[in-house]
Amino acid sequence: MDNMSANFSTLIMSIASSAAMSLGLAPDPQSGKMAKDKNMAKFNIDLLIMLKEKTTNNLTEDENKLILSVISDLQMHYVKN
C-alpha cells in the first residue's frame, strides 16, 4: 500500500475491483472466495457512470480512456452474468 497514490485512476480501479468481485470475476481479497452480487455490481457500475458524468471535461485523455474502457468492460460482463 506504500506505493499507491491517491489519484483518479486509483479511485476508478478501486471501484472497478469491487464491481469485478461482485460479478464473480475476482475473488474477495480477505476470504479468497468468489461470490456474485448483481445488485452491488450494478451499484458500482452506476457509481463509475456518475463519476464519468460529473467529471466531464475535467479528465486527462488517459483518465477519460480509462474510465470509458472500465465502464464498457464491466457493463459487458454484467450483461453476460
Mean pLDDT in residue range 64-75: 98
3-state secondary structure of 28: coil
Determine contact, residues 34/27, Cβ cutoff 8 Å: yes
The predicted pLDDT at position 64 comes to: 97
What's the predicted TM-score (pTM) here?
0.89
pLDDT in tens, 13-58: 999 999 999 999 998 888 888 889 999 999 999 999 999 999 999 9
Distance between CA atoms of 10 and 48, rounded to whole angstroms? 12
Backbone angles phi, psi at 18, to 5 degrees: -65, -40
Task: Parse the chain into domains and list their residue ranges.
Answer: 8-80
Residue 3 confidence (pLDDT): 67
